[in-house]
A and B are shown apart, each in its own frame.
Chain A
Amino acid sequence: MTAGALTRLGRVPASRLKIRPVMRPLAFFTIAVVLVFFTMIYSRISLDRTAFEMHGIEQGLAQQERLHWDLRLELARLQDPRRITEAAADLGLVYPDERITIEAPGVITETDDGYPRWTASRSLLTELP
């Protein structure tokens, strides 16, 4: 493009800068297409971002589930009678030579299998969330 042509462009009258009426629909259409295009891109980005967030949440859930089972294992180990016996022995406790039985009315209740057993302390020990 020559310098003369550029000069001529710089001196284009303002009236010639107006969009001709026949160009208006085309311009609007073009703008709409561009907007839709960017909207689709944004939607896709949002979808992918959500998918990554969901994946992160699923991984978090899996981690919590692992922790849940680890805690249940820990709880079962803590309730191991041998561990308790050893701990009791370390504390100086011994098995009694003599047992004294006190029968308290109303304490013994029946379980689902119809078998009477002490309920209060056992239910505390075995209560599971």
Chain B
Amino acid sequence: MAGHRWRLQDLRVIILGVVFVVAWGGIGYRLFQVQGADAAELAERGFNQRVRHEEILPKRGTIYDRDGVELAITVYGSSLVADPAVVGDPAQAAAVLAPILGENLADLTIKLGREGRYALLSRGLEHAEAEVLGTAIAEADLQGFLLVEEAVRVYPSGSLAAPVVGLTRLDDGAGIEGIESIMDDALSGRAGKRIVERDGAGRAIPQGEYLIEPAVPGSDVYLTIDREIQHTAERALSSVMDQTGAVGGSVVVIVPETGRILAMVSLPAFDPNERSSLDADSIRNRAVADVYEPGSTLKVVAVAGALELGIVGPETVIETPPEITIADEIFADVAEHPRAMTVADIVAKSSNVGTIEIQDRLGNERHYAYLDAFGLGRPSSIDFNPESAGRLDHFTDWCYSTCGASAAIGYGIGATPLQMAGLYATIANDGEWVEPHVVAEIVGPDGSRISSEPRTRRVISAETAVMLRRMLQQVVEGGTGFRAEIDSFTVGGKTGTSDKFDVDLGEYSTTETIAWFVGIAPIDDPAIVTVVVLDTPTGFLDDGTELKFGGASAAPVFAEIAESALHQLGVAPDKG
């Protein structure tokens, strides 16, 4: 273009054109880069930012009593967490929250003032408590606090049957004691999986949720515990422990025909809702973990064996001097009695001398066989862990001189209250031992039901069992167990008092005892067997009788519990 004169506006157009070309070229290049070259990588990065693989926590199964009332239940609660870096004034926040949380003001202030981005202030808050906290936080305009929803395990009846029901861990909800632990696999269920797309604020995008595997809720466990009989038993045992100063106590109420445990008490107990009340002494279920020498309550075994084998009969007369000496050891009776008594009277009067004579006729080997058959020396049930097996040495390990005699009167052998309940339930059930159990049924989330199938075994004949029950009835109506009598029901049972062995001194205490009473009611058609054990009761009754004896302290507790339980069960009175 010869002769063309470049004007200033021409230059401006050219520059503007270049700028536009460069700008649009850059945009085009970036477009190509984002939508073309790096498209796959960027899409994947964006996907990963939005998408979370989450576990769906299963809902823990509920534990019910025999009437279907919840003893342990999971509800949706909250945890209160704080971000100390965002909390403006820790002191002000603590002043608002400490009274509601029940925490020490100074401790809470320190917690909120610490370095870090996370502080757990409280967990296991129920809905009502969380609402109060939320309102307080909002009204005070506190920043940096969040209520996180979580599952909370609650025990509506508090300490009722707590040693049986057990408790769970706070962090992962796993069962650590009692039925919560034994049935943890069934109660836990199975976690599910899902993929969730969340926006920048963490909210789920509705169309972006994909369920891979649904969570399977835990199964529900129905216990045999009757909460009203349980409450009566706890109240009665607690009252006598206050009266006697006993350091511990147990009660077991069992249905002999089925082995179902209607009540199992262990005191002192704990409230699983109050973690501060937990200690090793209160968590222990004494009814299955503590082993005691049964004392006179074990005399029935030697008598049962001798009756079953025809060695003696109820009216067989046995020489019963006030005391006998075996290998320099003296075995004596506490109360005065005739120098010869029938077997029935020996049981009624709880004569040590008479029982030793019967055991001598039975022999150690056969005596051991019946002790084993009645369930001593091994755990009684699969529903308790840990459950002590007690102590029963093989008869070949018994000393030649006095061990047989000691075993006859309940020394040298260790038994748990549950084992003794099973023993007397065998007598009540016409000679058939039925496995004691506390789990009645497991109901799966799909409605499937698994019922307990207790083991059974024949120990003695029905005739022998009836004879024994008649003798036990005499214990109450004319013997050492008269304080166990109930107005409207016939009762049979056995008192027992064993000297407590002092482990530190290595000898038996002369003052401390274990007081027992085991009773059957009604005696003709037994509905329940009840065991009451008191550890170191002291004091005196109004008539001067020492409360350290089973007949004085444990027998009245049996009467109160048994009468109430029989009325609760609708058993028709058979007396009066």
Chain A interface residues (CB < 8 Å from chain B): 47-48, 51-52, 54-55, 65-66, 69-70, 72-73, 76-77, 79-82, 85, 99, 101, 103, 108, 113, 115-118, 122, 125-126, 128
Contacts and interface: CB of A to CB of B under 8 A. Distances in A.
Nearest to B258: A113
Contact of A55 (B68, B204, B440, B570): B204
B206 A54 contact: yes
Contact of A80 (B127, B158, B207, B260): B158
A74 B228 CA distance: 18
A85 B231 contact: yes
Interface of B: 67-71, 73-76, 126-127, 154, 156-158, 160, 204, 206-207, 227-228, 230-231, 235, 255, 258, 260, 440, 487-488, 563, 567, 569-573
A27 B75 CA distance: 64
Given A69-B75, A80-B158, A116 B570 contact: yes
Contacts of B75: 66, 69-70, 73
Nearest to A81: B231
A115 B74 CA distance: 31
A112 to B, nearest CB: 10
Given A47-B207, A48-B207, A113-B258, A66 B156 contact: no
B240 to A, nearest CB: 15
A128 B487 CA distance: 36
A69 B76 contact: yes
A72 to B, nearest CB: 6
Contact of B487 (A69, A85, A99): A99
16 contacts: A47-B207, A55-B204, A65-B76, A70-B75, A72-B73, A80-B158, A81-B157, A82-B157, A82-B160, A85-B235, A99-B487, A101-B572, A101-B573, A103-B572, A103-B573, A118-B570
Given A55-B204, A76-B69, 8 more contacts: A66-B127, A69-B73, A69-B74, A69-B76, A73-B126, A101-B572, A103-B573, A126-B67
Listed residue (A47, A69, A70) with the most chain B CB atoms within 10 angstroms of its CB: A69
Nearest to A113: B258
A115 B569 contact: yes
Contacts of B260: 113
B70 A76 contact: yes
Contact of A99 (B71, B74, B207, B563): B563
Listed residue (B68, B230, B570) with the most chain A CB atoms within 10 angstroms of its CB: B570
Contacts of A65: 76
Contacts of B69: 76, 79, 126
A80 B569 contact: no
Contact of B227 (A81, A101, A103): A81
Contacts of B207: 47-48, 51
A73 B73 CA distance: 7
Contacts of B156: 73, 76-77, 79-80
Contacts of B71: 76
9 nearest A-B pairs in the assembled complex, by CB-CB distance: A76-B156, A81-B231, A55-B206, A76-B70, A51-B206, A117-B570, A66-B76, A51-B207, A77-B156
A48 B160 CA distance: 51
B224 to A, nearest CB: 9
A4 to B, nearest CB: 24
Nearest to A115: B569
Given A55-B206, A122-B67, A101 B160 contact: no
A98 to B, nearest CB: 8
A54 to B, nearest CB: 7
B221 to A, nearest CB: 15
Contacts of A55: 204, 206
A52 B156 CA distance: 37
A17 to B, nearest CB: 36
Contacts of A125: 67
Contacts of A128: 68
Nearest to A63: B76
Contacts of B235: 85
B236 to A, nearest CB: 11
B255 A73 contact: no
A129 B570 CA distance: 25
Contacts of A51: 206-207
A99 B76 contact: no
A56 B121 CA distance: 30
A44 to B, nearest CB: 10
B160 A76 contact: no
Listed residue (A47, A54, A81) with the most chain B CB atoms within 10 angstroms of its CB: A81
A73 B70 contact: yes
Contacts of B67: 122, 125-126
A101 B127 CA distance: 45
A117 B568 CA distance: 8
B73 A126 contact: no
A113 B571 CA distance: 15
A55 to B, nearest CB: 4
A52 B203 CA distance: 12
B79 to A, nearest CB: 15
Contacts of B127: 66, 70
